[in-house]
Amino acid sequence: VTHFNNGDPILTDLNNSQWNNMNEGAYAFYPFEQVNGLVSEEEMKAVYGALYNWYAVTDARGLCPAGWRVPNDDDWKYLEGYADSEYGIGHYIWDMDSSLGRGEDAGSKLKLFKPFHWYLGNDDFGFSATLGGIRRQHGAFEGEWKRGFFWSATGRDEWTAWWRGLTYNSGKISRQYWHKTVGGSVRCVKDGD
């Protein structure tokens, strides 16, 4: 998505300094030249999509299509409990923040299986998560095919917000807070769900 629902363009093509100091919605595409096996920006867009800062995620003009919204932290907790084979919906483990991951296998059940990149993924629920990396607060890109970070619409404080992380070598899912200028992936949920 390159425009908000009202048609306004979302800022893009920002240098590292501009990205770091941005306090309104912006997005970037991971440079395809840094990704093994991809030969164009269009291919990068099709495989991984854009990386959005939190200001784009929560902009009142809407990032998700009409009738859809960015999931909040509680939506993620529900999904994790539903997907995990050991810790169900409402288990206290989903309230923990951990970069090492939580649960038993919710992360595996939400990731695509992608041989030669990551093996701990079976996509049991059609979530089809790909590990598209991040754009760090200072503007650098990193982690494509190793990590995927998905924003929640829930802020933690003035500077940080919650998101979920998946990695190539773990079946768990992490809950962390990052600076709102970091670029991450977005999934939408249907309103009323």
For 155-178, write each residue's pLDDT tens digit. 999 999 999 999 988 889 999 999
Does the structure show a pLDDT above 60 at 183?
Answer: yes
| pLDDT (0 to 100) of residue 27 | 98
What CA–CA distance (Å, rounded) separates 109 from 120? Answer: 8
pLDDT at 113 over 80: no
> pLDDT band at 99, cuts 50/70/90?
confident
The model's pTM:
0.92
Phi, psi of 73 (to 5 degrees): -60, -40
Cα-Cα-Cα-Cα dihedral sign, residues 165, 183, 34, 127? positive
Q: What is the pLDDT of residue 115?
A: 58
Whether 117 has a pLDDT exceeding 60, the answer reads no
Phi, psi of 66 (to 5 degrees): -55, 135
Q: Per-domain residue ranges for the chain?
A: 1-193
Query: What confidence score (pLDDT) does residue 152 get?
Result: 98
Neighbours of 35 (CB within 10 A): 18
pLDDT digits (tens, 9 = 90+) for 28-77: 999 999 888 889 999 989 989 999 999 999 999 999 999 999 999 999 99
Average pLDDT value for the chain: 92
Average pLDDT over residues 5-9: 97
How far, in whole angstroms, is CA 169 from its chain's centroid? Answer: 17
Widest Cα–Cα separation across the chain: 44
Query: Which pLDDT score, from 0 to 100, does residue 116 have?
Result: 53
Backbone φ, ψ for residue 89 (5° rounding): -60, 135
- 21 pLDDT band, cuts 50/70/90, is very high
